[in-house]
A and B are shown apart, each in its own frame.
Chain A
Amino acid sequence: MADSKAAAAVTLRTRKFMTNRLLSRKQFVLEVIHPGRANVSKAELKERLAKLYEVKESNCIFVFKFRTHFGGGKSTGFGLIYDNLEAAKKFEPKYRLIRNGLATKVEKSRKQMKERKNRAKKIRGVKKVRSNHKMLKMHMSKLILV
Chain B
Amino acid sequence: MAAAFATAEANDERKEEILVRDDAPKLLAALKEMKDGLDLVRSKVEAITRKVRENQLPTANGIGYLEAKNHLLLGYCQDIVYYLLRKAKGLSVDGHPVVRSLVEIRLFLEKIRPIDKKAEYQIQKLTSAADVASAREKGGNAKDKGKGEHSDEEDLLKYRPNPDMMDTKSAPDGQDNDGVYRPPKFMPTIMDDEDKRRKQDSRRDKAIARMATENPYIKEIIDDAADRPEEWKETVGDESREFVKYMRQREEQEKQEEELFTRAPVTKRDKQMEKRIRRQLNGLGGLTDGFDLGMNMLFDGDKEDDGGSSKSRGKSGSRKKHMKSSKKRKRH
List residues of chain A with CB within 8 A of the CB of B247: 70
Against B, the Cβ 8 Å flags (1 = close, 0 = not) of A53-81 are: 00000000000010100110000101000
Determine the residue in chain B with the shortest Cβ distance to A80.
Answer: B261
- Asked whether B193 is an interface residue with its Cβ less than 8 Å from the other chain, the reply is no
Which residues of A lie under 8 Å from residue B67 when comparing CB positions?
none
Cβ-based interface call for A97 (8 A): no
The answer on a CB contact under 8 Å between A70 and B261 is: no
| Residue in A15, A70, A78 with the greatest tally of chain B CB atoms within 10 Å | A70
List A contacts of B330 (CB < 8 A). none
Say whether B258 contacts A29, CB under 8 Å.
Answer: yes
Task: A16 to B260: give the CA distance in the assembly, Å.
Answer: 11
- Is B214 part of the binding interface, using a Cβ–Cβ cutoff of 8 Å? no
- Main SS at interface, chain A: strand
* A27 engages B250 (CB within 8 Å): no
A15-B261 in contact (CB<8A): no
Q: Is the CB of A76 within 8 A of B261?
A: no
Asked if B263 CB lies within 8 Å of chain A CBs, one says yes
Interfacial chain B residues near A15, Cβ < 8 Å: 258
A27→B261 contact, CB < 8 A: yes
Least distance between B107 CB and chain A CB atoms (Å): 73
Which chain A residues lie closer than 8 Å to B16 at the CB level?
Answer: none
Asked if B9 CB lies within 8 Å of chain A CBs, one says no
Contacts of B17 in A (CB 8 A): none
Which residue of chain A has the shortest Cβ distance to B262 in the bound complex?
A65
Partner of B254, one of A16, A27, A71, A76: A76
Interface string of B248-287 (1 = CB under 8 A from A): 0010001000100111000000000010011001000000
CA distance A83 to B61 in the complex (A): 89
**A132 to B277 alpha-carbon distance, docked (Å):** 55
Which A residues, 16 to 67, have Cβ-Cβ distances below 8 Å to chain B? 16, 27, 29, 65, 67
User: A67 to B263, Cβ gap below 8 A?
Assistant: yes
- Candidates A29, A65, A70; contact of B250 at CB < 8 Å: A70
Q: Which residues of B contact A71 (CB under 8 A)?
A: 281
Contact A65-B263, Cβ < 8 Å, known A70-B247, A70-B250: yes
Q: Which residues of A contact B262 (CB under 8 A)?
A: 65
Return the CB mask of B213-252 against A: 1 if under 8 Å, else 0: 0000000000000000000000000000000000100100
What are 8 A-B contacts with C-beta separation under 8 Å? Answer: A15-B258, A16-B258, A65-B262, A67-B263, A70-B247, A70-B274, A70-B278, A76-B254
Besides A16-B261, A70-B274, A78-B261, 15 new A-B residue pairs in contact (Cβ under 8 A), listed by A number: A15-B258, A16-B258, A27-B261, A29-B258, A29-B261, A65-B262, A65-B263, A67-B263, A70-B247, A70-B250, A70-B277, A70-B278, A71-B281, A76-B254, A76-B258
